[in-house]
Structure 1
Amino acid sequence: MTDTINYAQMMQKAMQSLMIDVLKKISKNGLPGNHHYFISFDTKFEGVVVADWIKERYPEEMTIVIQHWFDNLEVNADNFSITLNFGDNPENLTIPWNSISTFVDPSVEFGLRFEDEANEDIDAVEEIPESKMVIIEDDDENNVAEIVSLD
């Protein structure tokens, strides 16, 4: 057991779960209203599957848009796969969840930013020195609690 709760990792997992739920819904029902998604991901990440010409054009990072036309959206435990058009050429992509850096729905000004697991420790909150405990002794035996309003 560790000495601390890794809130950053827990938050990443919760945000990832939200993204997975959204993509599951659109895989079953399509895109509602004006919703559309920009998803940026690391093309070098293990498990990313894109055509060679796409990888050559986007050797580091790529942003896809799920909007007007997409097909074969499958949501899996470790990744999602989708067919998108690139200049009227349908291409299959497989994108692992952990490769994603941003998930944005500009139609409602909603976005998620995912941190690299390697940077979690770097981005952790600086340690704050612990304050010394101050003990206040009160000899009054008839202490009465006072209700305070914080308006």
Structure 2
Amino acid sequence: MSQSIDYGNLMHKAMRGLIQQVLEKVGQEGLPGNHHFFITFDTMHPDVEIADWLSDRYPDEMTVVMQHWFDNLEVTDDGFSVTLNFGDSPEPLYIPYDAIRTFVDPSVEFGLRFETQDDEEEDDAEEAPMQEMVEDDPDDEPPRKDAEVVSLDRFRK
């Protein structure tokens, strides 16, 4: 048995389960009201399936929008597939939950951001001085980095 509880991985699993539940409901009932999603994912994830021209155009990450038109939404325990329109060219996509970097519903100011291993290493390097300061003052807690809400400003026009 391990010596600690891995809250970061447990939280990521729970957040991905939330995305799965939301997409399952949308698949059954459609998008209610003004809800819509900005989903940013790692295009280089080994299980992502997108057209070659999309992976060439977006070699690292891609943000897709599920709003006015989408088709063939199928949700599984590992990810989801959907057909989206790219300039009057419908393209099927498969996105595993593990590839998702952000999931945002700006209509209700809700967002999830998943840290990557590279992000965590950069954060650890940047937070080293902060950790020392926190240890000197026991009343302050170190900032949590496993899950955070994404700023919606980057998605607004």
TM bin (shorter chain): 0.7 to 0.9
In the alignment, what sits opposite 2:155?
none
Distance 1:99 1:10 in 2: 16
**Shift, 1:116, TM fit:** 2.0
| Structure 1 alignment gaps of length 5 or more | 130-151
| Structure 2 alignment gaps of length 5 or more | 136-157
Amino acid at match of 1:30: G
Task: List per-residue Cα deviations over 1:90-121 (Å, max 9, x = no partner).
Answer: 00000011000000000000000112256667
Distance 1:118 1:9 in 2: 15
CA contact (8 A) 2:20 2:79 kept: no
- Number of aligned residues: 129
TM-score normalised to the size of structure 1? 0.79
CA contact (8 A) 1:8 1:120 kept: no
CA contact (8 A) 1:73 1:82 kept: yes
Moved >3 Å (runs of 4+): 117-129
In the alignment, what sits opposite 1:48?
48
RMSD: 1.9
In the alignment, what sits opposite 2:76?
76
| Larger Rg computed on CA atoms | 1
Distance 2:122 2:61 in 1: 21
In the alignment, what sits opposite 1:113?
113
Greater percentage in helix: 2
